[in-house]
């Protein structure tokens, strides 16, 4: 009997070029994207429009937008198999965001945890973009009609709001948007800072943050200084409540080696934290080495990276404009 070919499901996600990529971004997001390329049709972008909700040094933002593309590719996101693009190269994102602004409630946006956190952190620049950020994110997603949006746990609330906006719009105008699902990895969903096991790994705490382009010496030093726990037991055991530091290191080790927590406990039985911390550091160093080397090589080939961005923008615009046209028609904009 002839087999009917099912079209591939679609995935879409983005990361802001607001700082250099770190191990949290890699394990919580990019690695999972790269692992799924054969199963899904994938769209990944650098969310530079989102980045200016916080003041940026223009030259730095430009540098990071290119360097982030090099790092995506070095992490295994093959531009021949994934559509990789820069958000500001596809005007439809900003265009749809405006329409969706008119279908999103003030109260909904006021409840967003990220808005509350960021407005507390940047008190002198609580701009309207920071407030409407989730609507732009909804536009990013809905333009591409994806089935899944792979993100870390911290972005789940935004994907849920996206679903609410899409359902509201569809209930007025018919089936315009596909309702996407968040896709949250089981391990690596939240990597904590090496010096702050109670807070997620973040570039704003550079000491406990391992950047993808860090040298092996820097990584070794950071793991040496990793906070373990002050319990008397001092053995390697997964216990998020009483041993957050050790549990975080175990999550990193487990995600990179594929070993289960029990296997790790057995491996380090009787060895204590002194042997465990450098062992995790070594696994990270070896895993990141080829990524750093490939990213450095690609950064020297600006013509190639520009080409990837150009092709990505064309492919992304084709899909995005199709949705935008449909939306414009539905809301009653006169078409010529």
Q: What are the residue numbers of the active site?
A: 118, 200, 203
Choose the one of ligand LTN, ligand ATP, none that binds residue 201, judging by a C-beta under 5 to 8 angstroms depending on kind: ligand ATP
10 strand-pairing partners:
41
Q: In whole angstroms, what is the distance from residue 126 CA to residue 134 CA?
A: 15
Region near ligand LTN per CB under 6 A, out of 11-19, 170-178, 229-237, 298-306: 11-19
If one asks whether residue 90 binds ligand ATP (CB under 6 A), the answer comes out as: no
If residue 14 lies in a helix (H) or strand (E), which one and from where to where? strand 9-15
**Cβ proximity to ligand LTN, 66 vs 149, nearer residue:** 149
Q: In whole angstroms, what is the distance from residue 104 CA to residue 207 CA?
A: 39
Q: In whole angstroms, what is the distance from residue 196 CA to residue 194 CA?
A: 6
Distance in Å, CB of 230 to ligand ATP, minimum: 23
What are the tokens at 15?
């990361």
**Cβ proximity to ligand ATP, 29 vs 92, nearer residue:** 29
If one asks whether residue 25 binds ligand ATP (CB under 6 A), the answer comes out as: yes
The single residue among 20, 140, 200, 208 that binds ligand LTN, judged by CB under 6 A, is: 140
**Cβ proximity to ligand LTN, 149 vs 161, nearer residue:** 149
Q: Is 145 within 8 Å of 10 (Cβ atoms)?
A: yes
Instruction: Dump the DSSP string for 276-324.
Output: HHHHHHHHHHHHHHHHHHHHHHHHT-HHHHHHHHHHHHHHHHHHHHHHH
Region near ligand LTN per CB under 6 A, out of 98-106, 133-141, 234-242, 280-288: 133-141
What are the tokens at 157?
């609330």
Name residues whose C-beta falls within 8 Å of residue 204's C-beta, 6 or more positions apart in sequence.
19
Query: Is 148 in a helix, a strand, or coil?
Result: strand
Total residues at interface with ligand LTN (CB under 6 A) = 13
If one asks whether residue 292 binds ligand LTN (CB under 6 A), the answer comes out as: no
Q: In whole angstroms, what is the distance from residue 208 CA to residue 214 CA?
A: 12
**Cβ proximity to ligand LTN, 137 vs 252, nearer residue:** 137
The single residue among 178, 203, 220, 259 that binds ligand ATP, judged by CB under 6 A, is: 203
The binding site for ligand LTN (CB under 6 A) comprises: 13-16, 47, 50, 137, 140-141, 149, 151, 155, 158
Residues that bind ligand ATP (CB under 6 A): 15-16, 19, 24-25, 28-29, 151-152, 154-155, 189-191, 200-204
């Amino acid at each position: 009997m002839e087999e009917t070919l099912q079209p591939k499901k679609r995935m879409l996600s983005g990361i802001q070029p607001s700082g250099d990529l770190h191990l949290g971004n890699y394990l919580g997001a990019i690695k999972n994207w790269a692992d799924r390329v054969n199963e899904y049709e994938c769209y990944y972008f650098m969310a530079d429009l989102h980045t200016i909700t916080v003041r940026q040094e223009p030259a730095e933002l430009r540098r990071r937008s290119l360097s982030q593309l090099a790092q995506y590719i070095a992490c295994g996101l093959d531009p021949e198999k994934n559509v990789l693009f820069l958000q500001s190269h596809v005007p439809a994102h900003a265009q749809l965001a405006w329409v969706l602004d008119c279908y999103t409630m003030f109260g909904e946006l006021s409840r967003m945890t990220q808005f509350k956190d960021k407005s507390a952190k940047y008190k002198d620049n609580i701009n309207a973009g920071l407030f409407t950020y989730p609507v732009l994110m909804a536009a990013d997603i809905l333009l591409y009609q994806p089935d899944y949006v792979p993100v870390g746990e911290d972005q789940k609330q935004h994907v849920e709001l996206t679903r609410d906006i899409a359902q509201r719009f569809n209930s007025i105008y018919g089936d315009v948007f596909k309702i996407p699902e968040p896709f949250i990895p089981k391990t690596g969903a939240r990597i904590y800072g090496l010096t702050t096991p109670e807070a997620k790994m973040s570039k704003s705490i550079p000491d406990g943050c391992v950047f993808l382009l860090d040298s092996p010496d820097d990584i070794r030093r950071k793991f040496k200084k990793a906070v373990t726990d002050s319990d008397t037991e001092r053995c390697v055991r997964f216990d998020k409540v009483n041993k957050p530091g050790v549990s975080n290191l175990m999550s990193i080790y487990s995600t990179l080696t594929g070993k289960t927590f029990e296997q790790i406990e057995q491996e380090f039985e009787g060895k204590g934290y002194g042997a465990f911390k450098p062992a995790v550091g070594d696994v990270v160093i070896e895993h990141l080495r080829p990524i750093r080397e490939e990213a450095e090589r690609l950064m020297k080939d600006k013509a190639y990276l520009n080409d990837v961005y150009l092709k990505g923008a064309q492919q992304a615009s084709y899909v995005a404009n199709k949705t935008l046209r449909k939306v414009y028609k539905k809301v009653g904009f006169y078409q010529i």
